[in-house]
Structure 1
Amino acid sequence: MDYNHMGDLISSVRKSKNMTQKELADLLHVTDKAVSKWERGISCPDIGTLPALADILGISTDELLRCRGQAPAENRGAPAGRELRRTALPVLRAVGLAMGVATLVLSVLGKLDGRTAVTLLSVGVTCIGIVQLSE
């Protein structure tokens, strides 16, 4: 079981309910430090606490254990977004550079008309623009 994913789920659902760690801890008769450890993935809730925790959060124990609950919209997919960003940005940077190089080489070889040049450069500038905006 991945404690980090469970912790992310507990944290995001708790925050979506505008509940502090202390408030959640009081309802579960544990310390706020215990809730903090759960959310940081250092430990996980005791098995006897899971049903009450799931009930308070409004999710099933299955969702809690499998970490398949729906995070609030602003947090949904955040870890995946970071992974996508780490993978996609270098690809976009490379595509932008490749479009510039292709335009230059085809132009030197005399194989490039104006419309194709504009298309290649537009794709390249768009890719580089996306990279710049996301950094």
Structure 2
Amino acid sequence: MPVRHVDGHLLRNVRRAADLTQGEVAERLGVSVPAVVGWESGKSVPDGEKLPALADALGMDLDELFPRSLPPDLADLRCDAGYSQYQTAAITGTRSAGPVANAERGRRRLAEKFLPLLAEAYGVSVVELLAAQERSFSPDPRPPDPEGQRTRRTRIAVGDTAPKAPTDLPVTIAEKITHLLAETYAAPCPTDAQIAERGNAELSAEVLSEDLVRQLRTGEVTAASAEVLNALAAALAVPVLFFSTDDSEVHRIISGMRLVRGGMASLAARGEGEGLPAELLEFIGGVVAGMRPN
């Protein structure tokens, strides 16, 4: 996906020239001071949807402060308009951000009825929106990441002849959270604060914070303790295996969740599901039990 270039050194110089403190910038954007420190040091980058507000806070043109060498794709248009993926559900009138998330990932094109709604929200024409959509479905023309950062991977053992899981499975914590919120989560997408609150309530302990959930969701933080993973799993109503196992187990868990949410109450009733992880079967049983009338 084409992204805007964020230069932490330039960001710091522009902020100082604007006579703003890191705290003042953080307050204007609704983020923590450590987040701004991370951006300026180059240790992290702002969420794409925050770049317009950041440029505005510093009195700079978006394209000048955060240049982009390639034409925008769908995600770029959304970010340039200042929307997160979560917020697009309100634009399209759907229960989740799934339609937009799938189009941005090049999986399923936007339904025609969504085109004028998104074009108006993003401040572009339908023609420009469709052009961006085609770029989302085209092979990435950029060279590989010079730092060798992985975008997708599948663990393949030498000599392993077993069927492999799809290569587009979520692998990192950030990808797994995004997958749940965009494609699998049955209710309207919760905010980072709501995820933290639910996880803490389920564990009866202060394990998650809004900041930590955001950092895990965006990939700013890439590792978490078992307690944090337990809280995330509890908050998002999935087995903790989803966050702690390898690709093949994640594939099976996703498949199981899709079946349950698609109305597969008969699986547990018939005692089927051989080959699914024990924890997932317990999870399915709990969901099915909740479906049954008292």
| TM category, shorter | 0.3 to 0.5
Which of the pair has more CA radius of gyration? Answer: 1
Higher RCO, Cα 8 Å, sep 6+: 1
Greater share of residues in helix: 1
Normalised TM-score (structure 1): 0.44
Normalised TM-score (structure 2): 0.21
